[in-house]
Structure 1
Amino acid sequence: MTKPFWETKTLEEMTEQEWEALCDGCGKCCLHKFIDDDSVENAVTTDTIKPEEKVHYTNIVCDLLNTKTCSCTQYMERTRLVPDCVKLTKENLKDIFFMPTSCSYRRLYEGRGLPSWHPLLNAGRKSAMHKKGMSVRGKTVFEHQVDMEHFEDYIALWPLEDLD
């Protein structure tokens, strides 16, 4: 039996189609995040993180996210419509600290393999992921519903969960 591509290829060797298929579609990358060095007053947006800093996830999502399917409604245009939307690429994968530990790209980059709930291991369906609570479904508020001056009131710990 032939092994699946994610077990035989490095992330760098994957085709664009294989790369896109790795996304589990959880929607956690659409959560607003901030970096904090122990005080909300010092929170900043950045492309790097220092050892004394920590990434905080909120339950605030981008307005483009369909929170039922956990898919971007404007996927092909997302980086144009939302300039700070991060497009994960083979080139920026080394700076993946901002992705939760359950992220399939991060898991493969760290040598941990795909989780049992990943759609590629479940006939392409997201139902196992939703059932395990690994997606944003039912856990979020849209950014237009929130006073972003008080984003610290929306800090969430659940994105950090990483099953198997």
Structure 2
Amino acid sequence: MTEQHFWEQKTLSEMTREEWESLCDGCGRCCLHKLEDEETGEVYYTAIACQLLDTHSCQCADYPNRKAKVPGCLKLGLEDIPQFHWLPDTCAYRLLAEGQPLPKWHRLISGSDNSVHEAGISVQVFAIPEQQVPEEDWEDYIIPMLPIE
């Protein structure tokens, strides 16, 4: 008999704070700056990382205080579930909200925090700290991901 994991038994709204936080795979994709096309409303990811993202570990350098240091930082909550479509299509929050399973490389499945890097999902190999690129040049760093609608 196979034991079900908490993410297979509970909805996002039924999870504890600890369970919710454990869903983050540490890819860093949501910490990339996004640009909106003013004419079409489409939003595009750039390779430019938030000032707090450690581009090696793909973790926030000051997670508890991120909202105070980066006012535009988004804290995902249950009220945001209808807007999860902007999250990367590999994101556990988005996948579970859409009724999809976690991928094999997710740390809750693999048991390793490095599996997201080993699978090539994280931004580790291409993210550029925002301090290194003037904001007026960010458009030059749009990455080839599907636009967010």
What TM-score, normalized by structure 2, do the two folds share? 0.91
1:103 aligns with one of 88, 91, 96: 91
1:77-114 deviation per Cα after TM superposition (whole angstroms, max 9, x unaligned): 00111000001111112111321111110011111110
In the TM superposition, residue 68 of structure 1 has moved relative to its aligned partner by: 1.3
SS at match of 2:79: coil
Query: Identity over aligned residues, as a percent?
Result: 46
The residue number in structure 1 matching 2:118 is 131
1:135-160 deviation per Cα after TM superposition (whole angstroms, max 9, x unaligned): 010211111111111211000125x5
* Equivalent AA in structure 2 for residue 95 of structure 1: Q
Give the total of aligned pairs.
145
The residue number in structure 1 matching 2:36 is 35
Q: For structure 1, which runs of at least 5 residues remain unmatched after alignment?
A: 37-41, 44-51
Q: Is the 8 A contact 2:12 2:78 kept in 1?
A: yes
The residue number in structure 2 matching 1:59 is 47
SS at match of 1:92: helix
SS at match of 1:151: helix
1:19 counterpart = 2:7: no
**C-alpha spacing 1:66/1:135, structure 2 compared with 1 (3 Å):** same
The residue number in structure 2 matching 1:47 is none
What TM-score, normalized by structure 1, do the two folds share? 0.83
Distance (whole Å) between structure 1 residues aligned to residue 42 and residue 89 of structure 2: 13
* Equivalent AA in structure 2 for residue 66 of structure 1: D
Q: For structure 2, which runs of at least 5 residues remain unmatched after alignment?
A: none
SS at match of 2:51: coil
The residue number in structure 1 matching 2:143 is 156
Extract structure 1 runs of 4+ deviating beyond 3 A: none
Larger RCO (CA within 8 A; separation ≥ 6): 2
Distance (whole Å) between structure 1 residues aligned to residue 16 and residue 7 of structure 2: 11
In the TM superposition, residue 65 of structure 1 has moved relative to its aligned partner by: 0.9
* Equivalent AA in structure 2 for residue 143 of structure 1: E
Give the superposed CA RMSD: 1.4
Distance (whole Å) between structure 1 residues aligned to residue 43 and residue 92 of structure 2: 18
In the TM superposition, residue 130 of structure 1 has moved relative to its aligned partner by: 0.7
* Equivalent AA in structure 1 for residue 21 of structure 2: E
The residue number in structure 1 matching 2:78 is 90
